Structure 1
Amino acid sequence: MSTAADTTGPAAANRSYRDVLSRNRRMAGLLLGDLLANAGTGMLIVAMPVQTLAVHGTVDAALAIGMVEAAPFLLSTVLALVISLGRFSAPPRRLLLADCALRAVAFTGLGVLAMAGRLTLPLLVGGLLLGSICRMAGSSSRRLLATSMVDDADRFAVNGLLGLGSNFALLVFGPVAGGLLVTWAGAGWTLFADACGALILLASVLRCVPRAPAVRAEGEAGPKRESGWRILRRRPVAGRLLVVVFFFNFLYMPIEVALPLYVRETLHTGASGLGLLWTALGVGALVGAGLVDRLRRLPQRPLLIAVIALWGLCPITLAGVGNQTAAMVVFGLGGLIWAPFTPVAYSFLQSGLGPGEQQPVVTLWTTGSTVAAPLGLLAGGPLIALTGIHTSLVLSGLLTLLLAPLAAWGVLNG
């Protein structure tokens, strides 16, 4: 598979963040809505483990956190696989609007239950399952809609801007605001905040995204629609990179289960300490996402492999520190290293696809990489219960380091 960033010549055509934002106000409006929606979701990164620990009852704490963190991915994975592997299709704009509406209704209901003191672990898991049915399809739709509103030379910058906004909202502003809100008012209020963010994104899509965007499912324009799997089979490098991305995300997810327990038992802090740790990761990721604009002329495949190898050192180092400041430094450096991975990977993928191939392939890629999250979360609970917090962090890092040479073999050969 060829990509615009494989050689220095074509990569130089990629425009900068500033150029793209100044020439397309509608796309900038969509990115702003996405940023505000992600800010609400970022609050849940801190709030949901705290809420889970308050309602887990007789269920083991690590297992309960894993269940709650995995719930939003389960039903959404089924819908995304139907879209990407079958002949069913829906316009990305409609999918994103449905995701926003469902999320707003479900999270408002969970917030009301939490405020009334009637929220239980089964209700929390059930609400997250139902409210996130369109989550994965909506996530790929955000990227499809944004990149459909620009030309090929702007795609790298748009993918980078999506990463920049999400890193700021999910990992910097969101966790800080979530930690403060949990401390001052309770975890239930963050559910209302996420519902408000979903409504803001809904309004942004209605206002900024045309009803008939440039990227459509092929089935809308003709009698047949090729599945994402068949398309990827013609592009073996992209298929192998999907496998790498899957395991990269899978091996990361036990860290999310371990982190609330690590903060409580090793750092001896609560929601505010967890929020600060996520903020450190977010600040590093924000800087890294900003630097993506400077990386647009570099070969993308070696860059992806370097990110995998360097990130593997992060959880290993984190397991060896025992105070808040040192943990924040390690996590901040980890965010700096990790940030370029997603925008570079998606730019690499999309550069070799035709307009009719974008939705099935990007949805399949998003599904394949994201489905690693619930699997990793579900595996993280038992892993931590069996090996302990620090050992599980070391194992996550070591296995990620072993992934790097496999990634080099699979991605560079082709």
Structure 2
Amino acid sequence: MSQPATPEWSYVQALKNPRLALFLGGVAFSGIGDGMLIAAIPLLAMKIHGDLPVAIAVSLAAAAPFVSSTLVALPFSLGTRRFPVRGGLVSDCLLRGAALAAAGLAAVSENLTIFALIGALFVGSCLRSVGTPATRLAALGMAPSHGRFAVNGLLATVRQFTLYVVGPAIGGLIAGFASPEWALVVDGATFLPLLLATLLVVPRSPSTRREAKENESGLKVMRRLPVAWRLLIVVFFFNLLYMPVEVALPLLVNGPLGGDGKALGVVWTLFGAGALLGALATNFLRSVPQVPLMMGIIASWGATTVGLALSQNVASAAVAFFVGGVVYAPFTPVAYSYLHTFLSEKDEQPVLTLWSTVSTLAAPIGLLAAGPLVHALGGRGAVFLSAFLILALALGMTRMRPMAPPEDPPPAAPAVQLGKHQQNRET
């Protein structure tokens, strides 16, 4: 890979930009809310599952947000229209915040059924696959090309810390001392800081209707980039094969391991602590060849999943998940940074949206399949199967040959919709 003339930014250099720092603060609060759901949704689904088998209820509740967001994102990823970054973020914050708060309040008043919960998660997450790439595009739009790795790493660090450390801990505490219903109410409120940060630092988007005919769809762009397709397939199956762990873990902790809601929060918190360490270490992996690095991450995650399946108590499961967090965390920023080396500015939004849509599609497929799988094999059996298939995926990556980026690196990576008046970047 050719090296840019300007040295890559460190995390500290990136955070010196007040706009980026404020925006990342908003992302952090929404990440806390998402992390709370990791502990609260399975516990609430187990509480109100009714006549549904517990494993099926947990998998349906976990899959609902991904199904609706994938359906909404398809027109933007397969077509030539571009969504406004600011508008996508604002709409996602409003819809998800309102839906989660409403579902939580209904559950507190004992008027929420399992199907109503699934419906609320389905509707509230419709714009999730728009908001996710919009978050990355907005952050990248505040940095020059040599700041991409740092911005991707910071996004991963913030998300890992809030999603897996702070969020599950708070969600587990609320579920243990109050109820999982209240965790949904608090989660709805965590989208307010991101909404305010977006309104303050992300500029309005110019109209793109006249440009639609000149744009290429994400599918057409990726047809020109075989490496992007191959990497997306790896990411898809990595996400897919992880999902049985997410369904099996609450049943494993609350069953054979003898834990409860607080214990589940502790396990996820230790995973997040490991993920935070791994995300912070990502900044020191810039010189490591990225394809072998991703292969090593996948193999290491498979090995730690075996450790989770062999756990005999909550403590050993938490240790296995802590190590898993350390090795897993660098994967997403490394994958995105590798992808960005092949993209021009105008191709970033459609490709990132398609990438996010397809990789996210693995979640509902995996979660829906994981329900019957966990029901049939039990928690340990499902985790063992997941580990075996992930190790096979890592072995299959040996056939993936690294490719050199274009001779002329893509221009700076401002989000397409951030407007020409933002070309002077402090960061």
TM-score range (shorter-chain normalised) is: over 0.9
- In structure 2, which of residues 378, 399, 402 is the aligned counterpart of residue 409 of structure 1? 399
Among 248, 256, 262, which residue is 1:272 paired with? 262
Partner AA of 1:259 in structure 2: L
Superimposed CA distance per residue, residues 106-160 of structure 1 (whole angstroms, 9 cap, x where no aligned partner) = 1121011011011101100000011000011101110011001110100100000
Give the direction of change, closer, same or farther, for the CA distance of 1:69–1:220 in structure 2 (3 Å limit): farther
Q: Given that residues 46 and 179 in structure 1 are in contact (C-alpha distance below 8 angstroms), is that contact kept between their aligned partners in structure 2?
A: yes
Q: Is the 8 A contact 1:254 1:392 kept in 2?
A: yes
Instruction: Decide which of 60, 82, 104 is 2:75's aligned counterpart.
Output: 82
Equivalent residue, structure 2, for 1:73: 66
Would the alpha carbon gap of residues 279 and 12 (structure 1) be closer, same or farther in structure 2, given more than 3 Å must change? Answer: farther
Equivalent position of 2:146 in the other structure: 153
* TM-score computed with the length of structure 2 as normaliser: 0.92
Q: CA offset at residue 403 of structure 1?
A: 0.5
| Conserved? CA contact 1:12–1:296, under 8 Å | no
Query: For the structure 1 residues 117 and 353, does the alpha-carbon distance in structure 2 shift closer, same or farther, using more than 3 Å as the test?
Result: same
The 1:407–1:265 alpha-carbon spacing in structure 2 relative to 1, beyond 3 Å, is same
Alpha-carbon distance in 2 for matches of 1:166, 1:157: 14
Which residue of the partner structure matches residue 289 of structure 1? 279
> Paired residue for 2:28?
35
1:237 is aligned, of 215, 227, 232, to: 227
Deviation at 1:10, TM superposition (A): 4.1
Equivalent residue for 1:15, pick from 1, 9, 14:
9
Partner SS, residue 371 of structure 1: helix
Does residue 329 of structure 1 match 2:322?
no
Distance 2:195 2:370 in 1: 33
How far 1:325 sits from its partner (Å)?
1.4
Q: Say whether 1:376 aligns with 2:366.
A: yes
Q: Are the equivalent residues in 2 in contact too, given 1:30–1:204 (CA < 8 A)?
A: yes
1:13 offset after TM fit, Å? 2.6
What is the 5 A alignment of 1:41-60? 41-60=34-53
**1:329 partner letter:** V
Find the partner of 1:226 among 216, 230, 253: 216
TM-score normalised by the chain length of structure 1:
0.94
More helix by share: 1
Kept in 2: contact 1:267–1:323 (CA 8 A): yes
Structure 1 residue 200, shift from structure 2 partner: 1.4
Amino acid at match of 1:52: A
CA distance in structure 1 between the partners assigned to 2:5 and 2:127 by the alignment: 34
Partner amino acid, structure 1, of 2:378: G
Match among 313, 329, 339 for residue 329 of structure 2: 339
Unaligned stretches of 5+ residues in structure 2: 405-427
In structure 2, the CA distance between the partners of 1:59 and 1:78, relative to structure 1 (3 Å rule), is: same
Partner of 2:133: 140
Of 150, 153, 158, 1:165 maps to 158
- Which of 359, 372, 381 is the matching residue for 2:349? 359
**Once the two structures are aligned, what percentage of the paired residues are identical?**
44
Deviation at 1:295, TM superposition (A): 1.0
Alignment partners' CA distance in 2, 1:369 and 1:222: 25
1:369/1:11 CA distance change after superposition, 3 Å: farther
The question of whether the paired residues in 1 share the 8 Å contact of 2:271 and 2:321 is answered with yes
**Contact 2:11 2:154 survives alignment (8 Å):** yes
- Which amino acid letter does the alignment assign opposite residue 366 of structure 1? S
Distance apart, 1:11 and its partner CA = 9.5
Task: Please report how far the alpha carbon of residue 410 of structure 1 lies from its aligned counterpart in structure 2 after TM superposition.
Answer: 2.4
